[in-house]
Structure 1
Amino acid sequence: MRDDGGAAWQRQGRGTGEATVEDLIGRGLLALGGRRSHTFDDVTVDLAQRCASSDGARRVVTALVAGLRAATDGAWQRGWQPSDVHRMAVRRLSTAEQAFVVDAMTDELDRHARATVDPSWWGQLHALDGTVWWPRSETWLDAHRQRGVDWLTLVAQSLTVMNLLQSLPGIERLTCLPGEFRPTAADAAASATSGRPADVDSRILERVRMLLAKAESTTFAAEAETFTAGAQALMARHSIDAALLTAERGGASLEGGPRGRRIGIDTPYDGPKASLLTAVASANNCRMVWTRELGFGTVVGFEADLESVELLFTSLLVQANSAMLAEGSRADHRGRSRTRAFRSSFLTAFAYRIGERLRQVTREAMDAAAPAATSRGQALVPLMAARTERVEQTVDEWFPSLTRRRTQSVRDAEGWHVGRAAADRARLDGPSDRSRVGRGRS
């Protein structure tokens, strides 16, 4: 049904000349929020028609750019980071509109001196291929127009992106806002392109990735498992070394305190996937808080451990999905489908068994490192316990109203047993290409 109020507003604006570009943008956003498509169409046509003259086009583009910058900054203020915003864009917008989101974020962050933005933000933007590709002498909307995007499409996509940014709810703020970050000497040594904090040893990560590649390329399960365990042990040892170094410096660490990173958890079977992320996080001295309604889990831990969690979770999720799909569909004795219950139970069992395996590797790494720690005058168990306590305190500070829930029950016995068997075969250092399951982190 046509929105009569919107049509009347349009007639009044055109007849009296009272409707400014800003008025129309506001009306368009209200129409999107209220799902009044006819009013939105009227607004976009009106704005596009005003672009027929150079002066009119300049007023429209200037207002749209300003609105997009304000909406993007508002999202930052409410706790969202580039990867978070892009994850929501992938869920709700078209491919072309997703590209607009990346450009809007790039444009807003480019207004800040690079050193005043947390390095992880630049890393997220880099992963999204966010770069200032347009000439500095014009806006990014002008550049899209030069590429052949018509005015009607340009206006509609700009308003759609603006509406998404404005609709994002408040979430936990995990880092300083753009413009407020003050780098330390260690931060200054971080890579200018990777956005990785300086405390993360790139050599360790490279060795882990090499193990991932070897595990993926081998056709022998036993060999793959060796590479798998090696990767987790390497990650655990890296965490232990960081704790020892902090203790020897009297508590002064290049790491700073625990940080947070959001990782996407998509449907279907988001519950078992969240269980898998929890298992990986716990084995690597981190904690995971699931925000189901927004489709992500916030992993809290020290930066080096966060890198380990993301690498391993991405790998294991790919392996779990592949093994699950290879099992095909299932039906009960009456011929009714039980595929969903089977797959949910499969993934739940996979997560449970993987957690057992990871914790075992971590315990072995602790046992192996304990003598060397003692010779350096350090008791390893209390050190790691203190590190875990700092993570727990950070979780309590960021999530004061946290509610603990039981994971969903297993409804398919076959799925449980097959899932455990798949977890026993899983390579803990599986594929390193995060794009295979979606970037989706911050």
Structure 2
Amino acid sequence: MGKRNQERRRAKKKQRDARQRARAEQEGAFDAASGFGGCDCGDPFCGVGGGASVPRPRGPRTVADLLDEAMDEVCAIPPADTARREAALGRAAALFTKAGMGRAVLAAGSEVLHAVWHRGWQPADMVRAARRELKARHGRLAADLIAAEQRAYPTPSTGLDGRWAAQLATLSAEVWWGDDDAYLAGAAAREKCQPTVLGRAWVELLDLLSGLPEIPQLMPPPCEAGSGTAPGGSGVEAPVLAKVRGLLAKAESTEFPEEAEALTAKAQQLMAQHSINAALLDAEQDTRQVPGGVRVGVDTPYEEPKVHLLQAVAEANRCRTVWSRNLGFSTVVGFASDARAVELLYTSLLVQAQSALHAAGSRTYRDGASRTRSYRQSFLTAYATRIAQRLSRATEQATKAAGEDHGPGLLPVLASRAEAVDDQVDEWFAELSYNRSQTHARDREGWAHGTVAANRAQLHGQADALR
């Protein structure tokens, strides 16, 4: 990084710190008990600092009161204190045999979820966290909770962000039950478990959600739908991305490597050309679009080679990635269509790699011990390395060809967009640390097969295709 660039970054960091201090003074002290930030949405049930507090009515304790007290007890016990925590979870789970608990838990969960959205989380992120940290059952309950909470917000036709609505559709977050009082019985039947077992899962889920950290806000939460366009654009997919999606779907489904190669090459060609055309159009119209972000799940096992594959695709498409290892995702930062194209291409490449791994089967040493894990780790590492080389070369060729068509004015435009992406990363990830992690590839056969798979998946003849 050049000296002038470092000075510019330091100056921008000082400005961000000053803005953050000013916001903190305006919003008041952070509520350490709940971990919620400020919210100006006006929802009285928000519980995020900006909404008005709702006093608890006097009189006999309701099931909602009992649930609140039980959750307070569970959340106050450190995870390391397993004995006390197990006892508290058992007492909370026993409450789920009481009448009216279905409505109470959905209402309590909606309040927690409303705060989670204001800490930057999205529906897909939240369900992923529930499945990753707990179990698949918790992920299904999380989808139920999202469906119940979304009833209070606008429909897509009246202002809900299209990207948010698309996540709801992907998660099948729909109200499948009738009256909320009947929810627990229906959920217990679906999960094939007793009410107390379901109750424990619910308490574990609410405890998890209450402790989720604050992350960058990539799109407006549903209570702010219609308040303005967030960075990254709307949920309307550009026509070129629809074509890319179709090409990659065919590449994944074909049994012929040469056909998959040609289809993927054409998809990368369209993405590269669209990115350059969009940059030139923005410069010509002086629209000054702001980069946005997309979160991409990075699941176990073999996270590091998967992250390197995603990084390779992102860099080839003028984006940057930040891996949140403990949260199970990477954030792709870039202009709207570029970031979505990265997500599409990465997903397709990973599907192709996993298909090749499945076809390769397991591996053993001569003594019969398994070396499947070492083989697959090496395979994916080689795959990501080779893809990075080929995509980098393809991007250079595309830029050179476009420069010949558009003249010397192209490079300053692309440099300006790259700087905007860097600035957005600095703003969202002020405490970002850079660590060149080393991936392990100890299996010679896995490395060789991964390289071959990458060659088949990507970009033969790309230079000719781009011209």
Pick closer, same or farther for the CA change 1:133–1:338 going to 2, 3 Å.
closer
The one of 322, 326, 342 equivalent to 1:289 is 322
User: 2: CA distance between counterparts of 1:214 and 1:280?
Assistant: 19
- 8 Å Cα contact 1:275-1:351 kept in structure 2: yes
Matched AA of 2:398: A
The one of 265, 270, 282 equivalent to 1:229 is 265
The one of 414, 419, 422 equivalent to 2:450 is 419
Q: Where does residue 14 of structure 2 map in the other structure?
A: none
Matches within 5 A, 1:64-103: 64-103=105-144
Please give the secondary structure, in 1, of the residue aligned with 2:290. coil
Q: Which has the higher contact order (CA 8 A, sep 6+)?
A: 1
- 8 Å Cα contact 1:145-1:154 kept in structure 2: no
Matches within 5 A, 1:111-190: 111-114=152-155, 115=158, 117-134=160-177, 138-139=179-180, 142-145=182-185, 149=189, 151-152=195-196, 155-182=199-226
Matched AA of 1:122: A
TM-score, reference length from structure 1:
0.78
Q: Where does residue 433 of structure 1 map in the other structure?
A: none
Matched, 1:212 2:245: no
User: 1: CA distance between counterparts of 2:224 and 2:235?
Assistant: 16
- Alpha-carbon shift at residue 314 of structure 1 (Å): 0.9
Pick closer, same or farther for the CA change 1:166–1:183 going to 2, 3 Å.
closer
Q: Runs of 5+ in structure 2 lacking a partner?
A: 1-59, 461-467
Matched AA of 2:449: V
User: 1: CA distance between counterparts of 2:223 and 2:120?
Assistant: 14
User: 1: CA distance between counterparts of 2:188 and 2:424?
Assistant: 49
Matched, 1:385 2:415: yes
Q: Where does residue 350 of structure 2 map in the other structure?
A: 317
Pick closer, same or farther for the CA change 1:418–1:146 going to 2, 3 Å.
closer
User: 1: CA distance between counterparts of 2:428 and 2:253?
Assistant: 41
For the aligned residue pairs, the C-alpha RMSD in angstroms reads 3.1
Q: How many residues align?
A: 387
Q: Which moved more, 1:382-391 or 1:29-38?
A: 29-38
- Alpha-carbon shift at residue 227 of structure 1 (Å): 1.5
Q: Where does residue 91 of structure 2 map in the other structure?
A: 42
Residues 167-218 of structure 1 deviation map (CA, whole Å, 9 limit, x = unaligned)? 322323323333234466999xx9xxxxx534x41x2122213322443454
The one of 280, 296, 300 equivalent to 1:244 is 280
User: 1: CA distance between counterparts of 2:171 and 2:78?
Assistant: 26
Please give the secondary structure, in 2, of the residue aligned with 1:268. coil
Please give the secondary structure, in 2, of the residue aligned with 1:260. strand
Matched AA of 1:23: E
Pick closer, same or farther for the CA change 1:214–1:72 going to 2, 3 Å.
closer
- 8 Å Cα contact 2:188-2:195 kept in structure 1: no
Residues 72-101 of structure 1 deviation map (CA, whole Å, 9 limit, x = unaligned)? 122222221111111112224444432221
Q: Where does residue 435 of structure 2 map in the other structure?
A: 405
Q: Where does residue 327 of structure 1 map in the other structure?
A: 360
- Alpha-carbon shift at residue 267 of structure 1 (Å): 1.6
- Alpha-carbon shift at residue 243 of structure 1 (Å): 0.8
- 8 Å Cα contact 1:118-1:176 kept in structure 2: yes
